[in-house]
């Protein structure tokens, strides 16, 4: 066992002892044990980073993913490519977040939430030990010390890759605290003040999905920013559950959702476990999946126990919500709109969760089938439309007469119905509710400029940005997907310098060349793109790698009105003399509206976090 492995075991034992000490309410010694756990897990991660940078191929995992051909940045990023590294990073981040939470809570009388949290950290460290990231390469029969590593796929060599992976596990780490605190609340009562941890989890998961969408759209040749990959579905389901929990937290302060709010917090963390299970079980068809994992059964067992434990706690120990009378008879009152918003968000999460799992169940029953996007659209479109109108109505409540809100909403609903009947592309039915949200939010933002208090202005402004971002995401996604245009261009090898046009797009082939390095073939095309008065030189590549398979790097142009992707449909090496050069140009109108909406979501939650910090400083 090397130093890294020893540090990992020390972290595991320390986390386990912390859990035991907290159970017996030995606070002082538990804090010291937690410090050792945090320090040792951090040291193990640093040891792994050093091994990747210095190319210590005596560690099997380093040999798998590092190489002297990789720049230092991508050697560090390669730590999170394989299963062992992702477990190590997740366990480390969870231990650090939980340790900081314990340090903040050590003067409290009840530490049951910290006990639950460190218990889960202990499980994560156990899972890490099971995949053994520090395993010596000499344990492989007949192995000698390698002189070169395998490196990572060229498709992963992008600055967005480490951001995408790291933000996912930061989100998982922050989701742990609300789940543990909710279990403690349902067990012994007390306070449940975890809104900021929920916000941080929601923030980093939003960044993860945004970065993943941009990366997939421009690098991985997924033919778009969203493909309903099982991991994408699970991430979205978790994001929706956290969103529902954040909405429930608002009414929780008024005495509502005493069972539902903690249950949503616990289910949000279960969503993180489910996403991990999807990647490691080997039974889901996902680009994120690993071939096999020794942790599959333990993950599945923990997930089942967590679901049963959460439900039993909520219904057997949870405090019943007291029904409160209200003078507000309007159907648009917050207690009504919040209730239906949470219900719809939960239903949306269920549909996105159910899609990949029904495919697995059908396969077990002997039916080989694929769940197409139409499955999700059939259920998600009506729910998304209803959610959009609820948000738009809730935004205007108290600022405009209820009857006027109803009339305006009715006009947009009629437009939605007309589009649903008349439009050939049913995705267009999302446009009226999206415009309804955007218009109402902009109206509210103008009204909120009158706010004098900085804390209130920051909080309300953040909420407005979140809702505006949601509306823009709907607009961008619908317009980009509904009006996307794909044009194909075929060139023979002797047509360099030839200009061709198709669907209003002009392409001039400048140069095509093939470079061979060992057994790898790299096909490169230089071209000029003409579109809407724009003239731009671009380069697209296609690699046939013996080690990594086919790797495409499309050329991407980001514009204010549209994004354009030029993809080279490469050829097998045997056809390089007899084939043709095929280019596919994809145009996504107003796709930037989607990215801008995502950024506004992120900015909005940052504003709400800043408002909470300012409030605590004043208080």
Residue 328 has a pLDDT of 42
Closest CA to 272 of 355, 185, 204, 362: 204
Least confident segment among 60-74, 183-197, 418-432: 418-432
Mean pLDDT, residues 430-438 taken together: 92
Backbone torsion region of residue 540, taken as left when φ is above 0, otherwise alpha when ψ lies between -120 and 50, otherwise beta = beta
- Which tens digit of pLDDT belongs to each residue from 543-602? 888 777 788 888 888 887 788 888 888 877 666 666 788 999 988 888 889 999 999 999
Phi, psi of 150 (to 5 degrees): -80, -25
Q: Give the 3-state secondary structure of residue 36.
A: helix
Closest CA to 342 of 431, 442, 427, 263: 263
Joined together, the tokens standing for residue 409 give 């909403």
Joined together, the tokens standing for residue 299 give 């993950």
CA dihedral of residues 146, 150, 151, 154 (deg, nearest 10)? 160
The residue that leads in pLDDT, 336 or 391, is 391
Burial label for 240, CB within 10 Å (0-12, 13-18, 19+), is: buried
* Whole-number Cα distances in Å, 546 to 66, 291, 432, 516, 543: 17, 19, 50, 12, 10
Mean pLDDT, residues 245-253 taken together: 92
The residue that leads in pLDDT, 186 or 359, is 186
> Residue 418: which pLDDT band, with cuts at 50, 70 and 90?
very high
Closest CA to 277 of 167, 207, 360, 171: 360
Q: Are 388 and 471 in contact (CB under 8 A)?
A: yes
Is the confidence at residue 501, as pLDDT, over 60?
A: yes
Mean pLDDT, residues 480-490 taken together: 87
How many alpha carbons lie under 13 Å from residue 212 in its C-beta half-sphere?
22
> How far does CA 274 lie from the centroid of its chain?
13
Residue 520 has a pLDDT of 81
Rounded Cα distance between 508 and 527, Å, is 6
Rounded Cα distance between 20 and 535, Å, is 67
Is the confidence at residue 401, as pLDDT, over 80?
A: no
Least confident segment among 90-99, 259-268, 468-477, 564-573: 564-573
* Whole-number Cα distances in Å, 325 to 249, 263, 264: 20, 25, 25
Closest CA to 502 of 490, 487, 492, 485: 487
Rounded Cα distance between 526 and 535, Å, is 14
Contacts of residue 151, defined as CB under 8 A and 6 or more positions apart, other chains included, come to 65, 66, 67, 69, 70, 78
Percentage, residues of the chain above pLDDT 90: 51
> 29: how many CB neighbours lie within 10 A of its CB?
14
Question: Which residues is 545 bridged to in the sheet?
Answer: 549
Q: Sign of the C-alpha dihedral, residues 44, 50, 54, 55?
A: positive
- H or E element that contains 495: none
Closest CA to 502 of 583, 579, 565: 583
Q: Mapped to the 3 state alphabet, what secondary structure does 253-293 carry?
A: CCCCCCCHHHHHHHHHHHHHHHHHHHHHHCCCCCCCCCCCC
Closest CA to 515 of 527, 507, 524: 524
Task: Write the DSSP string, 209-251.
Answer: HHHHHHHHHHTS--SSS----HHHHHHHHHHHHHHHHHHHHHH
Q: Are 435 and 559 in contact (CB under 8 A)?
A: no
Q: Give the 3-state secondary structure of residue 104.
A: helix
Mean pLDDT, residues 392-419 taken together: 84
Q: Are 249 and 198 in contact (CB under 8 A)?
A: yes
Least confident segment among 127-136, 287-296, 505-514: 287-296
Percentage, residues of the chain above pLDDT 70: 95
Rounded Cα distance between 161 and 539, Å, is 21
Rounded Cα distance between 377 and 383, Å, is 10
Is the confidence at residue 421, as pLDDT, over 70?
A: yes
Residue 114 has a pLDDT of 95
Q: Are 268 and 242 in contact (CB under 8 A)?
A: yes
Joined together, the tokens standing for residue 235 give 């991430």
Is the confidence at residue 252, as pLDDT, over 80?
A: yes
Task: Write the DSSP string, 143-199.
Answer: ----SS-----GGG-STHHHHHHHHHHHHHHHHHHHHHHHHHHHHH------HHHHH
Q: How would you list the strands of the sheet with 499-502, edge to edge?
A: 499-502, 505-517, 520-531, 534-545, 549-553
The residue that leads in pLDDT, 451 or 17, is 17
Residue 574 has a pLDDT of 66
Joined together, the tokens standing for residue 525 give 């095309």
Residue 327 has a pLDDT of 43
Residue 619 has a pLDDT of 66
Q: Are 506 and 482 in contact (CB under 8 A)?
A: no
Residue 446 has a pLDDT of 92
- Which tens digit of pLDDT belongs to each residue from 364-396? 788 777 788 888 888 898 999 999 999 988 888
Q: Are 228 and 240 in contact (CB under 8 A)?
A: no
Tokens 């809730």, residue located = 394
Closest CA to 178 of 235, 97, 110: 97
Residue 215 has a pLDDT of 83
Residue 318 has a pLDDT of 64
Is the confidence at residue 515, as pLDDT, over 80?
A: yes
Is the confidence at residue 533, as pLDDT, over 60?
A: yes
């Amino acid at each position: 066992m090397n130093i890294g492995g020893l540090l990992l075991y020390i972290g595991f034992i320390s986390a386990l002892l912390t859990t035991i000490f907290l159970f017996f309410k030995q606070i002082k010694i538990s804090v010291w044990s937690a410090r050792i756990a945090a320090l040792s897990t951090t040291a193990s991660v640093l040891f792994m980073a050093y091994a990747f940078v210095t190319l210590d191929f005596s560690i099997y995992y380093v040999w798998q993913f590092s190489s002297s051909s990789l720049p230092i940045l991508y050697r560090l990023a390669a730590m999170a490519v394989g299963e062992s590294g992702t477990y190590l990073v997740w366990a480390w981040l969870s231990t650090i977040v939980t340790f900081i939470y314990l340090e903040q809570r050590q003067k409290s009388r009840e530490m049951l939430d910290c006990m639950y949290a460190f218990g889960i950290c202990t499980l994560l460290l156990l899972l890490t030990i099971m995949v053994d990231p520090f395993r010596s390469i000499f344990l492989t029969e007949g192995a000698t010390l390698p002189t070169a590593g395998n490196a990572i796929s060229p498709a992963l060599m992008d600055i967005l890759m480490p951001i995408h992976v790291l933000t996912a596990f930061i989100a998982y780490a922050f989701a742990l605290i609300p789940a543990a605190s909710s279990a403690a609340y349902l067990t012994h009562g007390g306070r449940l003040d975890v809104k900021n941890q929920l916000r941080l989890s929601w923030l980093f998961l939003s960044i993860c999905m945004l970065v993943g969408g941009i990366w997939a759209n421009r690098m991985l040749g997924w033919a778009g920013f969203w493909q309903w990959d099982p991991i994408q579905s699970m991430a979205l389901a978790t994001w929706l559950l956290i969103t529902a929990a954040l909405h429930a937290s608002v009414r929780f302060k008024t005495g509502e959702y005493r069972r539902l709010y903690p249950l949503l917090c616990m289910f949000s963390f279960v969503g993180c476990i489910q996403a991990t299970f999807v990647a490691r079980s080997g039974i889901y068809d996902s680009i994120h999946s690993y071939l096999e994992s020794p942790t599959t059964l333990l993950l599945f067992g923990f997930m089942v126990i967590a679901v049963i434990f959460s439900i039993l706690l909520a219904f057997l120990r949870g405090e019943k919500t007291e029904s409160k009378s209200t003078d507000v008879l309007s159907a648009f009152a917050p207690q009504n709109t919040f209730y239906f918003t949470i219900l719809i968000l939960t239903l949306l999460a269920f549909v996105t969760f159910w899609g990949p799992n029904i495919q697995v169940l059908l396969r077990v029953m002997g039916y080989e089938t694929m769940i197409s996007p139409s499955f999700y659209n059939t259920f998600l479109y009506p729910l998304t439309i209803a959610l959009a109108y609820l948000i738009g109505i809730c935004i205007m409540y108290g600022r405009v007469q209820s009857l006027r809100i109803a009339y305006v909403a009715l006009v947009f609903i009629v437009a939605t119905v007309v589009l649903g009947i008349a439009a050939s592309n049913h995705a267009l039915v999302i446009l009226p509710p999206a415009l309804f949200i955007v218009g109402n939010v902009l109206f509210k933002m103008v009204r909120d400029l009158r706010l004098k208090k900085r804390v209130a202005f920051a909080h309300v402004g953040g909420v407005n940005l979140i809702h505006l971002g949601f509306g823009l995401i709907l607009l961008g996604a619908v317009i980009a997907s509904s009006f996307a245009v794909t044009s194909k261009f075929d060139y023979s090898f002797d047509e360099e310098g030839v200009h061709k046009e198709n669907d209003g797009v002009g392409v001039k082939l400048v140069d095509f060349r093939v470079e061979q390095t060992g057994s790898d073939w790299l096909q490169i095309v230089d071209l000029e793109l003409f579109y809407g008065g724009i003239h731009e030189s671009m380069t697209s590549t296609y690699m046939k790698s013996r080690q990594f398979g086919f790797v495409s790097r499309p050329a991407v142009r980001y514009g204010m009105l549209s994004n354009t992707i030029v993809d080279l449909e490469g050829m097998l090496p045997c056809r390089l003399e007899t084939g043709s050069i095929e280019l596919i140009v994809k145009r996504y109108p107003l796709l930037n509206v989607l990215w801008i909406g995502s950024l506004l979501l992120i900015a909005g939650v940052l504003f709400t976090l800043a408002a909470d910090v300012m409030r605590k400083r004043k208080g």
